[in-house]
A and B are shown apart, each in its own frame.
Chain A
Amino acid sequence: MLIVKDIQVYYGAIHALHGISFEVQQGEIVTLIGANGAGKSTVLKTISGLLRAKSGDVVYTGKSLRNVDPHNIVKLGLAQVPEGRRIFQQMTVLENLEMGAFIRNDRAEIEAGFEQVFQSFPRLKERRKQLAGTLSGGEQQMLAMGRAMMSKPQLLMLDEPSMGLSPILVNEIFSIIAQVHQSGTTVLLVEQNARMALSIAHRAYVLETGRIVKSGDAKELMDDDAIRKAYLGH
């Protein structure tokens, strides 16, 4: 479904990604794990077109995204929940969700989308008239996810959804990710909480200073000694 081929990405003079290659198959949950600063977010931003690779290519359902503008990438069925949520603080919850549905025009379908999001996140329904900036951290994360789901993506990319959340909320968010996946969405998950990520993913890639140093079945990686030492605490 998604093939990332040997991408090299620079921030000014800093060489952030040194030739990253991986793929995501339809119906999978794939996770990229690694320490802060390893380049995980950079990978997602490159896929969604916010950053451009100096060389290499990103191919989505057979189509190269090299020269596609970010807003058109969304139309192809890729949605991203950015790191730090990046919700529109000065807009209401409902308006945020509407923005998520920006590429859709069928009013009835959009309404149905609201219902779906509110079903997954009942708390957002209570607060739908509230300015998004007044939500708590957990609610903001839910809103960011709900907003991304409004575009009905085939591939949902999440950047550190656990950041800043209490353990209970992290569990809740991850169970929703599992639900989203069950309803037929392919998931690419970037996480620093390697344990949670590996527990729901099928396959994983380990990033270190802009390179993939390991990849494989999520369960196997969970048992890998080096991975346990580096990312799982012992």
Chain B
Amino acid sequence: MTFVNQIINGLHVGSIYALIALGYTMVYGIVKLINFAHGDIIMVGSYTAMVIMTELTGLPLWVGLLIAMLAAMLVCTTFGVVIERVAYKPLRNTQRIAALITAIGVSLLLQNIAQLIFSPNSLPFPVAIRVPPVAIGEMTISFITLLTITVSVLLMLGLQAFVHKTKIGKAMRAVSEDRDAAQLMGINVSTTISVTFAIGSALAAMGAVLYSTAYPIIIPTMGAMPGLKAFIAAVLGGIGVLPGAMLGGFLMGVAESLTNGYISSQWGDAVVFGILIVVLLVKPSGILGRRTSEKV
């Protein structure tokens, strides 16, 4: 593998991290909660897509994939919104750690439900797209890679536009900045938070399908690692900042890919965490983040 190929590989994984990181960063921005269950939403998305694709054998594979993705988005969105209403909303005004532990509980719950339904063993994900790789000069890039990178960049841009141009998007920003002031504007905070969870979960669903096409093995605990890395990507880029999540995701993906390629695959994770530590120590608010200070 050439250096450029390693970079492209990194961007492939990185853009999946980025999609998941967008959800993390939006949710954190608005409710200040590290939503540990977000990773497991990925798992829910992958299993949903797998079930749909196995059922729809008659259709051309790419149509099946599209339907599967839509179904995964629908299911994940429902999960995200319901989880917020049932498990996080009642704890909105208590110590934040209580919600954090609840999120861990939800994460375990989702994993165990999946184990009961699908068994704890790994299942193959039906890989849908058999398109010849695209040649650019000397290089060839797999179609999936191109698709993944394009889709995630477009989604990030779309999300950025949504948050800055639409009324509900602006309300989301207002609520993340000052919840009380937002209420005084007539903004329904609960609805706004639900919308945020819905969008974040839908993005995670897309990430899930793209992730599973790249690594076509699914197990109930599969969400933990990409979830954790996506969260780190969000922190790296500056939590609450959408382009930051994207940047963080790409950085993580490339760093991981280069380490795997040139040093050893065993050190990939260490490098990822190492970068996180260095960035936090040098600029705790992340690469694109803003400093905040406490008023005395």
Contact B188 A99 (CB under 8 A): no
Shortest Cβ gap from B30 to chain A (Å)? 13
Inter-chain contacts of B173 with A (CB < 8 A): 88, 90-91, 95
Binding site for A on B (CB under 8 A): 167, 170-171, 173-174, 177-178, 180-189, 290
Q: Which of A55-63, A79-87, A214-222 contacts B (4 or more CB under 8 A)?
A: A79-87
Inter-chain contacts of B186 with A (CB < 8 A): 71-72, 74-75, 102-103, 151
Inter-chain contacts of A90 with B (CB < 8 A): 173, 177, 290
Inter-chain contacts of A98 with B (CB < 8 A): 167, 170
From A70, A89, A95, contact of B184 by CB (8 A):
A70
Residue A196 at the chain B interface, CB threshold 8 Å: no
- What is the bound-complex CA distance between A151 and B177, given in angstroms? 20
Residue A147 at the chain B interface, CB threshold 8 Å: yes
Q: Which residue of A lies closest to B177 (CB)?
A: A88
Contact B185 A100 (CB under 8 A): yes
Contacts A86-B178, A91-B177 given; indicate if A74 touches B170 (C-beta within 8 A): no
Shortest Cβ gap from A58 to chain B (Å)? 15
Contacts A88-B174, A91-B170 given; indicate if A99 touches B185 (C-beta within 8 A): yes
Contact B174 A91 (CB under 8 A): yes
Contact B167 A102 (CB under 8 A): yes
Inter-chain contacts of A86 with B (CB < 8 A): 178, 180-181, 184
Inter-chain contacts of A213 with B (CB < 8 A): none
- What is the bound-complex CA distance between A80 and B186, given in angstroms? 11
User: Counting chain A CB atoms within 10 Å of each CB, which of B177, B187, B189 scores highest?
Assistant: B177
From A49, A89, A99, contact of B182 by CB (8 A):
A99
From A71, A88, A95, A151, contact of B183 by CB (8 A):
A71
User: Counting chain B CB atoms within 10 Å of each CB, which of A71, A148, A151 scores highest?
Assistant: A71
Residue A232 at the chain B interface, CB threshold 8 Å: no
Known: A86-B178, A88-B178, A98-B167. 11 other contacts (CB 8 A): A48-B183, A50-B183, A50-B184, A70-B184, A71-B185, A74-B183, A79-B184, A82-B181, A86-B181, A102-B187, A147-B185
Q: List, sorted by A's number, 10 A–B pairs whose CB atoms are closer than 8 Å.
A: A69-B188, A71-B186, A82-B181, A88-B178, A90-B290, A91-B170, A98-B170, A99-B174, A102-B185, A102-B187
Shortest Cβ gap from A230 to chain B (Å)? 28
Contact B170 A82 (CB under 8 A): no
Contact A74 B184 (CB under 8 A): yes
**How many inter-chain contacts with C-beta < 8 Å in the A-B complex?**
67
Interface string of A205-216 (1 = CB under 8 A from B): 000000000000
From B167, B171, B177, B180, contact of A50 by CB (8 A):
B180
Inter-chain contacts of B170 with A (CB < 8 A): 91, 95, 98-99
Inter-chain contacts of A151 with B (CB < 8 A): 185-186
From B171, B184, B290, contact of A48 by CB (8 A):
B184
Shortest Cβ gap from A95 to chain B (Å)? 6
Q: Which residue of A lies closest to B290 (CB)?
A: A90
Within 121-172 of A, Cβ neighbours of B (below 8 Å) are at 147-148, 151
Shortest Cβ gap from A131 to chain B (Å)? 11
Q: Which residue of A lies closest to B164 (CB)?
A: A95
- What is the bound-complex CA distance between A49 and B180, given in angstroms? 10
Contacts A71-B189, A102-B167 given; indicate if A80 touches B174 (C-beta within 8 A): no
Inter-chain contacts of B178 with A (CB < 8 A): 86, 88
Contact A87 B174 (CB under 8 A): no
Shortest Cβ gap from B288 to chain A (Å)? 13
Shortest Cβ gap from B186 to chain A (Å)? 4
Shortest Cβ gap from B285 to chain A (Å)? 13
Contact B188 A80 (CB under 8 A): no
Interface string of A95-130 (1 = CB under 8 A from B): 100111011000000000000000000000000000
User: Counting chain B CB atoms within 10 Å of each CB, which of A49, A70, A82, A89 scores highest?
Assistant: A70
- What is the bound-complex CA distance between A90 and B241, given in angstroms? 11
Shortest Cβ gap from B210 to chain A (Å)? 31
Inter-chain contacts of A95 with B (CB < 8 A): 170, 173
Contact A87 B181 (CB under 8 A): yes
